[in-house]
Amino acid sequence: MDSIDRAIINRLQDGFPISAQPFSEVAAELDLGEDELIARVQHLLDARTLTRFGPMYHAERLGGALTLAAMKVPAQDFERVAEQVNALPEVAHNYEREHPLNMWFVLATETADGQRLAIEKIEQETGCRVYNMPKLDEYFVELKLRV
Amino acid sequence: MNTLSELPSIDAIDRKIILASQGGLPLISRPYHAMAAQVGIPPEEVMARMQRMLDSGVIRRIAAVPNHYALGYKANGMTVWDIADERIDELGRRVGELEFVSHCYRRPRHLPDWPYNLFAMVHGHDRDEAQEQVARIAALLGDACRGHEILYSTRILKKTGLRITG
């Protein structure tokens, strides 16, 4: 990752235009060619320096249900349980964390019923209790990391 | 919280646009034109509909999402706080305004083993930097906070983002 990559990462976290040739616009701001910008974004995604590039949809405003859930998974069962949880398409993110509640995942479902069913399925398959922690209020959401 | 009456309307064409773009924008000169060809509508309509979804908040942002670890942010902590209910809205907003907090939510307690109702994500290059951020949040909360913890992530087990199905 060089200084051009860093400038691209910083710029693209701020938003991307909706226009006929958006890469060309952003490339001009960064003093790059359009082809070079596209190639570098592709490389940053391939290298997993960026995890995603595109529109971030607001699940609840699509009519879906979103929740954060946690489990206390015994250390000897952790890999098995991670596989079982990750296998569900409703699981959008899953993180291991240092805490007795050591597995934290986001469930995105089309309906509230789907969320309840997914939680029941996870509890049955894994044998672990799911602590469901749906958002009650959102005070701020905007991840930007400067590099 | 959003109520049903506040939900902006999404029609079948919007859903097709979402399906065509939720995995990421095509990395080509005219990405919205490519989506238009896939959805079967003119490019101008794709752009107008995406702009409308952006304005109404259905799309939060069109942007790049970095991998924290790859950018040198090794200490990604979920800080959790037990805040008096009557003060949480005021304090949640103020914590959310701190420049190093990326997400800030109120969530339900699970007493007795989970007393925390305010969640704020912090990102440091190392744990010392994250601990300094925790100290700044603690100073802001003062007496309204009855306890807190920081849960560091040690591994990303899955990160696919949200998906709707077609």
Q: Please name the member of A19, A48, A140 whose beta carbon is closest to the beta carbon of B96.
A: A140
Residue B145 bridge partners (DSSP)? B83
Matching residue, tokens 């959790």: B80
CB contact under 8 A, A140 and B2: no
CB contact under 8 A, A45 and B24: yes
pLDDT of residue B50: 97
Residue B52's contacts (CB-CB under 8 Å, 6 or more residues apart) are none
Catalytically active residues of A, by annotation: 93
Per-residue pLDDT at A88 exceeds 70: yes
Sheet holding B75-83, edge to edge: A131-133, A65-71, A103-109, A91-97, B145-159, B75-83, B118-124, B101-106, A137-141
- ipTM greater than 0.85, yes or no? no
Per-residue pLDDT at B15 exceeds 60: yes
Share of chain B above pLDDT 90, in %: 77
What's the average model confidence in pLDDT over B111-125? 95
pLDDT of residue B1: 41
pLDDT of residue B4: 43
pLDDT tens sequence across A29-48: 999 999 999 999 999 999 99
Residue B10's contacts (CB-CB under 8 Å, 6 or more residues apart) are A62, A63, B18, B53, B58
pLDDT tens sequence across A117-137: 999 999 999 999 999 999 999
CB contact under 8 A, A95 and B155: yes
Per-residue pLDDT at B166 exceeds 80: no
Cβ–Cβ < 8 Å for A133, B107: yes
Q: Please name the member of A62, A95, A99 whose beta carbon is closest to the beta carbon of B10.
A: A62
CB contact under 8 A, A101 and B18: no
Q: Please name the member of B103, B121, B152 whose beta carbon is closest to the beta carbon of A98.
A: B152
pTM score: 0.80
Cβ–Cβ < 8 Å for B146, B87: no
Per-residue pLDDT at B40 exceeds 50: yes
What's the average model confidence in pLDDT over B2-29? 81
pLDDT of residue B156: 86
Residue A97 bridge partners (DSSP)? B153
Cβ–Cβ < 8 Å for B137, B95: yes
Residue B123 bridge partners (DSSP)? B76
Q: Which residue of B has its CA nearest to A55?
A: B62
**Å from B111 to nearest chain A CA?**
11
Contacts of B67 in chain A (CB under 8 A): 48-51
pLDDT of residue B163: 64
Cβ–Cβ < 8 Å for B26, B35: yes
pLDDT tens sequence across B119-145: 999 999 999 999 999 999 999 999 999
Q: Which residue of B has its CA nearest to A23?
A: B29
Angle, CA of A39, A40 and A44, to the nearest 5°? 120
- Identify the residue with better confidence: B78 or A141: B78
pLDDT of residue B164: 65
pLDDT of residue B7: 56
Per-residue pLDDT at B24 exceeds 80: yes
Pairing of strands B145-159, A131-133: unpaired
Q: Please name the member of A18, A54, A95 whose beta carbon is closest to the beta carbon of B156.
A: A95
B160 and chain A: CB distance < 8 Å anywhere? yes
CB contact under 8 A, A62 and B154: no
Q: What value does the mean pLDDT of chain B take?
A: 91
The secondary structure of residue A19, as a DSSP letter, is S
Per-residue pLDDT at A104 exceeds 70: yes
DSSP string, B59-117: EEEEEEEE-TGGGT--EEEEEEEEE-GGGHHHHHHHHHHSTTEEEEEE---BTTTB---
Q: Which residue of B has its CA nearest to A62?
A: B58
